């Protein structure tokens, strides 16, 4: 997928004001509207102009696009990094599926999940006399799900200044993380969304939980996955191994004759909950290096005296 330069599409600089963007869009719409245009590629160009305007005229999407796209050039291969939108605070404004149907794959990849698990959101439905709810994706440590915690979360929210240009405002909140929180779970902070009209109450802030990559663990639902290195003699003879978890060590019995690549399940040792998740161990048999004379001698003895064929299925 190639990166799209929406500023280039509209012919405006990156610091263009909202009014500049509106004027550029109207000028191009008169030029390429299929009902009046004589240009041979008018329909395609009009779709591109509509998409660029849809992003750059929306302060939230423009701020997100600017942050992600500052290091890309038009036509460059592009794939948004995981959780690129973490820490961005978005309102519930958005596009309905019908409105976004004509937009490119680039747009869908960038904004399909912006601001929460709901993806594209239609505005205006179910309006109440209260402030808008806001959404933000937050990154937590896996350990927080085991213990619970209070963390300071920093969010950036796009705002339009008096000159019609988008600026980012930063705010910090102390958030209580409940024990047993899951990937994708929503933490609701009452009254931390947009102010209500007049004396109406403010909306809520909905924080969508995601876990930072961990050097040892991987989470799927409530299950905790861990690669367990095992020595050849532990796998062959059986052993009891102390496995480190965020809550402390758990002793796991490795059965005699365990083979690599066969997962083991330890019930109830995943993320806490009702019921708790499981611990899934991916057994990886690790060979000691033959980097000393003694180690080489042991390997040579094994090669001579063990009647072992590692490739029995290859025999004809």
Q: Which two tokens stand for residue 81?
A: 């990094």
Confidence of residue 59 (pLDDT cuts 50, 70, 90): confident
Q: Which two tokens stand for residue 282?
A: 């991916």
What gap in Å lies between CA 193 and CA 182, rounded to an integer?
A: 22
Q: Return all residues near 41 (Cβ < 8 A) that are at least 6 apart.
A: none
Taking residues 281-293, what's their average pLDDT?
Answer: 95
Q: How much is the pTM?
A: 0.77
Confidence of residue 123 (pLDDT cuts 50, 70, 90): very low
Mean pLDDT of the chain: 86
What gap in Å lies between CA 227 and CA 282, rounded to an integer?
A: 5
Taking residues 192-200, what's their average pLDDT?
Answer: 86
Identify the three-state secondary structure at position 110: helix
Residues paired with 209 in a beta bridge: 138
Q: Where are the alpha helices (DSSP H) in 1-126?
A: 6-10, 18-32, 42-56, 59-69, 97-100, 105-111
Instruction: Report the CATH number of the 217-305 domain.
Output: 2.60.260.20
Q: Which of 19-33, 125-139, 212-226, 239-253 has the lowest mean pLDDT?
A: 125-139
pLDDT for 254 beyond 50: yes
Taking residues 117-139, what's their average pLDDT?
Answer: 64
Confirm if 47 and 34 have CB atoms less than 8 A apart.
no
pLDDT for 146 beyond 60: yes
Confidence of residue 56 (pLDDT cuts 50, 70, 90): very high
Q: Which of 112-121, 131-140, 173-182 has the lowest mean pLDDT?
A: 112-121
Confirm if 61 and 67 have CB atoms less than 8 A apart.
no
- Indicate the Cα dihedral angle 107, 137, 190, 165, nearest 10°: -50
pLDDT for 139 beyond 90: yes
pLDDT for 290 beyond 80: yes
pLDDT for 121 beyond 50: no
pLDDT for 12 beyond 70: yes
pLDDT for 282 beyond 50: yes
């Amino acid at each position: 997928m190639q990166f799209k330069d929406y500023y280039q599409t509209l012919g405006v600089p990156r610091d263009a004001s909202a009014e500049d963007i509106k004027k550029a869009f109207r000028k191009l719409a008169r030029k390429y509207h299929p009902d009046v245009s004589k240009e041979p590629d008018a329909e395609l160009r009009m779709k591109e102009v509509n998409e660029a305007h849809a992003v750059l005229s929306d302060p939230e999407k423009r701020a997100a696009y600017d942050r992600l796209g500052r290091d890309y050039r038009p036509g460059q291969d592009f794939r948004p990094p995981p959780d690129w939108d973490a820490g961005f605070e978005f309102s519930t404004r958005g596009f309905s599926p019908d409105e976004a149907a004509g937009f490119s794959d680039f747009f869908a990849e960038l904004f399909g999940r912006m601001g929460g698990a709901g993806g594209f959101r239609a505005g205006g439905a179910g309006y109440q006399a209260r402030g808008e709810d806001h959404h933000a994706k937050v990154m937590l440590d896996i350990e927080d799900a085991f213990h619970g915690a209070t963390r300071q979360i920093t969010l950036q929210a796009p705002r339009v200044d008096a000159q019609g240009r988008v600026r980012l405002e930063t705010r910090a909140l102390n958030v209580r993380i409940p024990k047993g929180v899951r990937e994708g779970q929503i933490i609701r902070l009452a009254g931390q969304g947009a102010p209500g009209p007049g004396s109406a109450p403010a909306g809520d802030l909905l924080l969508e939980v995601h876990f930072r990559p961990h050097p040892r663990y991987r989470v799927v639902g409530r299950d905790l996955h861990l690669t367990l290195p095992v020595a050849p003699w532990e796998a062959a003879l059986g052993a009891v191994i102390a496995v480190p978890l965020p809550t402390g060590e758990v002793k796991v019995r490795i059965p005699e004759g365990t083979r690599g690549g066969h997962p083991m399940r330890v019930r109830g040792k995943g993320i806490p909950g009702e019921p708790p998740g499981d611990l899934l161990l991916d057994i990886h048999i690790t060979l000691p290096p033959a980097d000393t004379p003694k180690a080489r001698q042991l390997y040579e003895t094994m090669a001579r005296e063990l009647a072992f064929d590692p490739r029995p299925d290859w025999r004809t």
